[in-house]
Amino acid sequence: MPIYEYICQGCGYQFEKIVKLDESPNCPECDSGELEKQFTVATVSTSRTRDKSFNKARAQAGNMKKEKDHAQMEYERKVHEEHL
Ligand SMILES: [Zn+2]
């Protein structure tokens, strides 16, 4: 099964997921279905899209500060756990 990389269009959260055929996952952070699907293989267009999404997420940060802080907290917690 292919592993896809997703970027949430709602909160900018980025994650990888093994996806069955025609399955549409939701964002684990904000449960949004607005996900941008990408292959894990890095290409020029992928990194471009990522920058665009990052800027978009940053632009939305003002409107979603609470959610953003929560997402950041969750992210840091996960990173911490991964390194234990
Ligand atoms: Zn999200």
Are the C-beta atoms of 46 and 2 separated by less than 8 Å?
no
Tell me the CA–centroid distance for residue 61 and ligand 1, in Å.
Answer: 12
Measured distance CA(18)–CA(74) in Å, rounded: 21
Task: Kindly provide the residue ranges of all beta strands, DSSP E only, lying in 1-84, ordered along the sequence.
Answer: 3-8, 14-18, 35-39
Of the spans 4-8, 47-51, 61-65, which averages the highest pLDDT?
A: 4-8
pLDDT at 42 over 50: no
Ion ligand 1, residues whose Cβ is below 5 A away: 8, 10-11, 13, 27, 29-30, 32
pTM value is: 0.43
Q: Is 17 exposed, middle or buried (0-12, 13-18, 19+ CB in 10 A)?
A: middle
Q: How far is the CA of 28 from the centre of ligand 1 (A)?
A: 7
